Copies of this chain bind each other. A is one copy, B any other.
Amino acid sequence: MSRATIFDVATRAGVSIKTVSRVVNNEPNVRETTKERVRKAIRELNYRPDRSARNLASHRSHLITLIYDDPSAYEIPSAGYVIRMQQGALRACRDNDCELLIHPCRYQDKALGAELKTLIEKVRPDGIVLAAPLSNMPNIVRAIGATGTPFVRVSSGRKKNGKHYSVSMNDRECSAEMTRYLASLGHKRIAFLTGHPKHDAVKNRFLGYQDGLQESGVSFSGDLVEAGDNSIRSGEACAEKLLSRKRRPTAIFAANDDMAAGVIRVADRLGIKVPDELSVAGCDDIALAQQVYPALTTIRQPLAAMAERAALALIEHSRGGSDLGGEDVFAASMQIRESTGPAPA
C-alpha cells in the first residue's frame, strides 16, 4: 500500500483537499470540529505532506543553507565551531518544518563567489546563513546578494553595514572585560597576541584589549603586543619572544585559544608555572581549551544561539514575515578556568 496523499485524507475526513491543506498549514478559518476530523484522518492514515509537491506549489523550498569556511580543509581544531553553528541552525529548522543544507567551502578559493552563486541557483534555498569569516568578505556578500536570496551574516566582529541583517557578538566588550579581569588580579604587564590580520573578529579583540587596559588604568605598551596568525605555532613563537625578556609579562591574553595553547606549551617548556608565574587567557572556548593543562580561561561565543537566531529570522522572512535588517548582538561569556590567577608578587 502506497503512502497516503492529501486526497486520501480529504476523502476519509469528508472534506475537500483544500481544507486538509488548511489544517496542515495552520491556516485560520477552519471550524474546530472540522479540524479535529481532519487531524484524526491524518493520524489514522499516517499522512505526511509531500515536500516536493508542497514546495512546487508554494514556491518555497523549505530549505535553509548554512555556508561556512570548512575547518577540515586545514586540519584545524575548530571543527567545534562548525558543529555548534550547525546545532543552532538545525534547531531553528527542526522547529519550523525546514531542513538545513550545509555548504562548507574555502574562503581562499578565488572562484568561491561563482561557486556559491551556482549553488544557490541550483538549490534555491529560502534563506542563507553566512558564517564568519565569509560573512566579512565583501565579494562573497556581494555574490550572494546578487542572487536575490535572503541571507543573514553571522560574525563575531561587529561591522557597520546597514544594508543586511546580521547577527554578531560583543567581541570588543568581552575582550575588554577579560582584560579588566586580568588587571583586577593585579597584573600590570598584560601582553596581547594579535591574530591573523584577515580575520576581523580578531581585530576587535585587540581593540577590546586596549579598552580594557584604559578602563583599568593600565597603560598600553606596544612592546607587549606580538603578532600571531591564529595558529598554535604562532602562539608558541610569540610566547618565546615575550617570555625570554628580562621583564616578562605576568599575563598573556591571546586573540584565540590556539595561540593561548601555544603559550601554555612554551611556558611549560621554559619551566614557567601557569598560573602561578604567568596567567594565560584565550578566546573562543574551543574544545582544546579544556584539554590543555591547566584548563584555559577564555571567552565563550554563543555560536549556536547566534546561528539559531539567524536561521529563524530567515524562516520568518520566507513566510512573508518581517524584513531583514539591522543587527542583533549576542553577549559572549567569560569562562574562568585554571590558567589565570593573581599576579606574582
A interface vs B, CB < 8 Å?
46, 48, 50-53, 55-56, 61, 63, 70-72, 75-77, 79-80, 82-84, 86-87, 90, 99-102, 104, 121-124, 232, 261, 265, 287-288, 290-291, 293
Contact = CB atoms under 8 A, between A and B. Distances in A.
17 contacts: A48-B121, A50-B56, A51-B55, A51-B122, A52-B52, A53-B56, A56-B56, A72-B87, A77-B80, A79-B79, A79-B82, A86-B102, A99-B123, A102-B102, A232-B291, A265-B293, A288-B291
Contacts of A232: 291
Copies in the complex: 2
B287 A51 contact: no
A18 to B, nearest CB: 19
B52 A288 contact: no
A75 B102 CA distance: 21
A70 B99 contact: no
A287 B84 contact: no
A72 B70 CA distance: 17
B121 A46 contact: yes
A109 to B, nearest CB: 14
Nearest to A262: B291
Nearest to A304: B72
Contacts of A122: 48, 51
